[in-house]
Amino acid sequence: MLTSVDTDLIRVLADPLRLQIVNLLAHETLCTTHLVEETGAKQTNLSNHLKVLREAGVVETEPCGRFTYYRLKPDVIAHLAGQFSGLAETARRTAETGRKRAC
């Protein structure tokens, strides 16, 4: 069953730019400069989205001199994927049993 934390995370990931950032960070740790280059977003807009991802626990930061690197936290994504897998399995069992509530 999806919790309110899960639904909040789904809302965070539903934004196209944030989802693009997550996809990029799945492949490598990047700084804001790299993310601006890759996404074409303005730095201030990107920083706001990174803040949302950080506050949601999706990414973590690593200071490196005057730059900040961002890294995806795979456990958060894996947890959400597990919740969806569980939901799909429940739906599969329900479909196989033909269970339905009478009107």
Cα(2)–Cα(97) distance, integer angstroms? 22
pTM for the full predicted model: 0.86
Angle 94-99-103 from CA coordinates, rounded to 5° = 135
| Torsion angle (degrees, nearest 10) of CA 61, 74, 5, 93 | 170
Any idea where the domains of the chain sit in the sequence? Answer: 4-91
- In tens, the pLDDT along 51-87 reads 999 999 999 999 999 999 999 999 999 999 998 999 8
Assess whether pLDDT exceeds 80 at residue 1. no
**How is domain 4-91 classified at the CATH fold level?**
Arc Repressor Mutant, subunit A (1.10.10)
Please name the amino acid found at residue 65.
G
CB-based burial of residue 50 (10 Å sphere; 0-12 exposed, 13-18 middle, 19+ buried)?
buried
